[in-house]
Chains A and B, each alone.
Chain A
Amino acid sequence: MNNFEYMQPESIEIASKFLKKNSSSYLYAGGTDILGMIKEDIISPKQLVNLKKINSLNYIKFDEKEGLKIGALTKLSEIEKSEIIKKSFNVLHQAVKEVATLQLRNVGTIGGNICQRPRCFYFRGDFDCIRKGGDTCFAVTGNSKYHCIIGGGPCYIVHPSDTAVALLALDAKFKISSEKSEKIISAREFFVLPDVDDQKENILKDGEILTEIIIPNSSNNISKFIKVKERGAWDFALVSIAGVFEIENKIIKSGKITFGGVAPIPWVEEKVNTGLTNFKIDENNIEKLSSLAFTKAEAMDKNSYKIPLAKNLIKKLLSEIVY
């Protein structure tokens, strides 16, 4: 672990200004990921900017018209406890419950969860991989069990966030603040593939901070999140799926399905979502729909199981929402 300068700004403006000036500084939200990365010498920041003094970013607000707004520094366990989220944005409630462990959720924030770094064991281990500025993705010839089946190259990570998968299904928007301005973009635009940037998982530039998550009101929806992992808690997804549907009499009027654990970003299979318009939920249709998914996936040596697994999750999701 290197020595670093530590600061606790009291406003977004000050934090942003500092970040812009010091490009090798890192943001500290809950700290559950970044402290481990510093201690294990995966990153060596010169400055660490702790946001914990910025009280204005810890809130959950709901308004029929404007929808749900969550401050980026809201603890995951606060979201888990929120009645309005449980009632009207249940897929997010379910996804948050799947994150790590209760102890980590008591410390980790929603903003941090969305911006966390990949768990690839080459990235986390002492391998000079592409994501750390090297020129090799070691998973390609090495162990690819936990790596992506689509959207990869030259780096083959999967995006680790559970909440991001649910937020994409909910058509969430993210507010990005910098010293002098704010902008709102869709969650989908936030994440970037490695062929665009192989060292970052999102579009945030120096000085930009994710400050708010905005979810349009969608209280009539039925939703579900399923995460397949190797152990009961404290594990990342092999594959996860989130679905948000408007259903009438076993017919999905419209719906959206998103995936985690399959790509370097939270993933959307367009053909599947197109197929969800006026979709009658029965075994045949489910089978047909799942066969449309991941036709372009390319598995490596050890991750081919993810293709049938992801297709199975479409079946599991659709058959479980009606019962």
Chain B
Amino acid sequence: MSIKKSKHFFEEDFVEKIGEVSDENYKQLPPNKDLKYIGKKIPRYDGYAKVSGKAVYTFDINLPNMVYGKILRSEIPHGKIKSIDISKAKSTDGVLDILTFENTPDYNWYGNSSKLFDQVVRYEGDEIACICAETQKDAEEAAKKIIISYEKLPFEVDAEKSFKSENLKIHESGNISREKPDEYSRGNVDDGFEQSEIIVEDTYSTQIAIHNPTEVHCSVANWEGEKLKIWDSTQGIFEVRNSIAKSLGINEENVQVIKEYMGGGFGSKLEAGKYTLMAAILSKKLKRPVKIVLDRKEMNLAVGNRPDSKQTLKLGLKKDGTILALNHYSIANVGAYPSGGGCSWPARTMYQIPNVKTVDYSIFTNTGRSRAFRAPGHVQGTFALDAIMDDAAEKIGMDPLEFRIKNYAEKDQVWGGNYSSKMLKEAYKIGAEKIGWGKRNKIPGSEKSYLKTGIGLASQIWWGGGGPPAHANMKIAKDGLVHVYSGTQDLGTGTYTFISQIAAEILEIPLNKIKVHLGDTDFPFGPSSGGSTTAPSISPAVRDAAEKMKKKLFSAASALTNISEDKLIYSEGSFSSENIKIINIDEIANQVESDSLFTKGSREENIEGIVVQTFGAQFAKVEVDTLTGNVKVIKIVAAHDIGRTLNRQTLENQFHGGIMQGLGFALTEERIMDSDYGKMLNPNMHDYKIPTMLDAPTEIEVIIVNDMDELANNMGVKGIGEPAMIPTAAAIANAVYNAIGVRIKSLPITPDKIINALYKN
């Protein structure tokens, strides 16, 4: 083990970390077909606990003597609180305490752009007070009795208008998040366009989408002396620990964060929430455990969203289909506080283009702030990029698939490195075959019937390589059970399951001998679960711990049997010598002193100069009813290079989930704001339309094109959480165009847009 500085991509940005890495250099495991557990359709480790109701989610945590916090939020989009009268609320039955900006110290929030309770509210949903009471209902009733008087300020919910506005200043620095656009260029786009024979230019837009995970955001905080214990529904227990410790000015070691099970996050739970800090403050004051649970309206208003985008793309190419230049300009609504809405990474990296320029503006508005949402930027960016790719292909009379292969990027174009693996061509080939690409409409919209079918495709690129530091400890208890401990978390994605599979595979013992313990900051560090990095960061550490354990078992067996290690043969949990079984793991565990069979596993370094990325192509077949404007997705074929599959079952589950979320983005989901009043009109699960099973594609086919990515890490694994969703909406949109022959340039493609496009009223 040694301490190294290393960097990898995490949600659109490099992170550089100094931490312990494994120095071991393991040979790649054989392909899955030669393995017993890895890659197989193994049922979820936590499946029984979940379906039987035994799994305890943060929402389920109830402690003796616990009290409840309810957050009062701004009902107006922008204003300064002139006065806040809590007297009536405070004298309500059961009310214990009320926090407001007047009685609470300044805790900086959103990178110093706001406070835990700020006197200025900048969107409908901004936190104003937190009422703590004996019951949830007491707190809710008391919240209604708080009287606030505002000095109303001008507001704007639209990014372009806010960008141009002269009398609206949402922050001192103006209305551009991070004060300037994110810019990138390579080559010279002007020269590129000059050399181009054909120029295609268009503007595409995408909507604001809300994460709406099944489990709402919630925290329970409880002080035990100087130690603060927090149960939180989070994607990053260490992130919450560090952030809350920093806010409170206490040592990180005095904060423990626990999250055993979770009902989804999709990026909205990657940062510590204000409610968590409020619960900690109230718990300290009242000396009682405090629980704060957000309701569905708060989930829609105040815990993040995918920023919208308005993207103008200009593509220059030669008649033979060679792309020479791409200009990408975008503007995104990131809400009231700093966040990133850039969506140009696909433009920079997806296709071979020598001259590229991108400018991304992230603009403040008086609406809920955006957060990372399953492949931030890429979902929006891919929709626009793959739309203009199809438009360009049509203009030069080239098949869209052939056009993409013609402009295939063999090497990374931003850093100039080689890819660890890129099997996108294979994905194109098999995907095209499975969707029946050859039978696709040659002329979009040419089908005679009012029911028109279409086929479309889109490409996917994303990081998902992960990296150190990431640790897992392993211990064999006296009873022979193998325990794995890691401070990573399972968001519902299958972390528990793959860890048990890897341990069982390496140690050659049954799955039921493995116990996995996750989601506790008292366990060794695991990174936040985002960026599709959990599996590629943690799985190599688990292998490291297991391989080291195997070595240890050799020495233990030798010590117990007095047979030298080189004469021992290990197979399926037992040691033999000269073909006679001598001792097994249970016996060893029973005979050695406690804590002897303990190993520390760590993620190894990433290889310098190698770019690890995931790739894929999704093909959609749709049927559009041109009388009603309804789009039915008949089939999605998802063919991807995501390295080694750890579990075919959870892999398919995650693809199905990603594709459904992509389908919702393509067809149904949209935050609707009233621009006159700055309020969200559909902050509930009925009007914010997440697709139902009846909207699901009739068929989803998932194809993984490679056995492993040997250069990615010792497990050959890359992430799939985000790749699964990235190209779905773009593929559906291209299929709709192929069906009806009219391009719907804004998502979601709802019936009104199709009817408006096809019929002049």
Contacts and interface: CB of A to CB of B under 8 A. Distances in A.
Interface stretch (B25-33, B178-186, B305-313, B686-694): B686-694
B213 interface: no
Interface string B668-692: 1000101111010110001101011
B12 to A, nearest CB: 30
Given A302-B752, A315-B627, 12 more contacts: A121-B672, A121-B681, A124-B687, A125-B679, A228-B751, A234-B686, A304-B761, A305-B752, A305-B756, A312-B628, A312-B759, A316-B627
B750 A230 contact: yes
A226 B695 CA distance: 17
Interface in B602-655: 627-630
Interface string A80-101: 0000000000000000000001
A122 B681 contact: yes
Given A231-B692, A238-B752, A307-B761, A143 B681 contact: yes
Nearest to B752: A305
A142 B668 contact: no
Interface in A225-253: 226, 228, 230-235, 238
A233 B689 CA distance: 10
B75 interface: yes
B668 A127 contact: no
B368 to A, nearest CB: 15
27 contacts: A119-B687, A121-B672, A121-B687, A127-B677, A142-B674, A142-B676, A142-B677, A143-B674, A226-B628, A228-B628, A228-B629, A230-B667, A231-B695, A232-B694, A238-B751, A299-B761, A304-B756, A304-B761, A305-B751, A305-B756, A307-B761, A308-B761, A309-B629, A312-B755, A313-B627, A316-B450, A316-B628
Interface string B375-392: 000000000000000000
- The 5 A-B pairs with the shortest beta carbon distances in the complex, nearest first, are A232-B694, A308-B759, A305-B752, A312-B627, A121-B681
Contacts of A101: 692
Contacts of B682: 121
A230 B628 contact: no
Contacts of B691: 231-232
A246 to B, nearest CB: 24
Contacts of B689: 230-231, 235
B481 to A, nearest CB: 42
A309 B755 CA distance: 7
A138 B674 contact: yes
Interface residues of A, number: 34
A12 to B, nearest CB: 32
Nearest to B628: A228
B682 to A, nearest CB: 6
A200 interface: no
A305 B686 contact: no
A315 B761 CA distance: 16
Interface in A90-141: 101, 119, 121-122, 124-127, 138, 141
A308 B692 contact: no
Given A121-B681, A127-B677, A238-B751, A233 B627 contact: no
Nearest to B695: A232
Given A125-B679, A235-B689, A313-B628, A230 B759 contact: no
Contacts of A228: 628-630, 751
Contacts, number: 90
Most buried by A among B627, B668, B677, B750: B627
A125 to B, nearest CB: 6
A129 B686 CA distance: 20
Interface residues of B, number: 32
B751 A230 contact: yes
A145 interface: yes
B755 A305 contact: yes
Contact of A143 (B75, B450, B672): B672
Interface of B: 75, 450, 627-630, 667-668, 672, 674-677, 679, 681-682, 686-687, 689, 691-695, 750-753, 755-756, 759, 761
Nearest to A317: B627
A14 to B, nearest CB: 31
A143 B682 CA distance: 11
Contacts of A305: 629, 751-753, 755-756, 761
A101 B692 CA distance: 10
B694 A125 contact: no
From A122, A231, A308, name the one whose CB has the most chain B CB atoms within 10 angstroms.
Answer: A231
Contacts of A309: 628-629, 751-752, 755
Contacts of A145: 672, 752
A86 to B, nearest CB: 20
A233 B692 contact: yes
Given A230-B689, A305-B752, A126 B681 contact: no
A126 B74 CA distance: 12
Nearest to A3: B141
B627 A232 contact: no
Nearest to B679: A125
Contacts of B761: 299, 304-305, 307-308
Contacts of B675: 142
A313 B759 CA distance: 13
B75 A126 contact: yes
A125 B628 contact: no
A138 B677 contact: yes
A150 to B, nearest CB: 14
Nearest to A146: B687
Contacts of A121: 672, 681-682, 687
Contacts of B681: 121-122, 125, 142-143
Contacts of A141: 676
Contacts of A143: 672, 674, 681
Contacts of B672: 121, 143, 145
Contacts of B629: 228, 305, 309
Given A121-B681, A121-B682, A143-B681, A232 B693 contact: yes
A230 B748 CA distance: 10
Nearest to A121: B681
B533 to A, nearest CB: 32
Nearest to B140: A1
A307 to B, nearest CB: 5
B183 to A, nearest CB: 35
A228 B754 CA distance: 13
Contacts of A302: 752
A122 B668 CA distance: 20
Interface string A217-231: 000000000101011
B700 to A, nearest CB: 16
A251 B723 CA distance: 55
A180 to B, nearest CB: 39
Contacts of B674: 122, 138, 142-143
B121 to A, nearest CB: 16
B630 to A, nearest CB: 7
Contacts of A315: 627
Nearest to A120: B681
Contacts of A307: 761
A238 B630 CA distance: 11
A128 to B, nearest CB: 11
Contacts of B753: 305
Contacts of A126: 75, 679
Contacts of B756: 304-305
Contacts of A138: 674, 676-677
A137 to B, nearest CB: 12
Contacts of B694: 231-233
Nearest to A235: B689
Nearest to A308: B759
Interface in A269-323: 299, 302-305, 307-309, 312-313, 315-316
Nearest to B681: A121
A178 to B, nearest CB: 33
B137 to A, nearest CB: 8
Contacts of B759: 308, 312
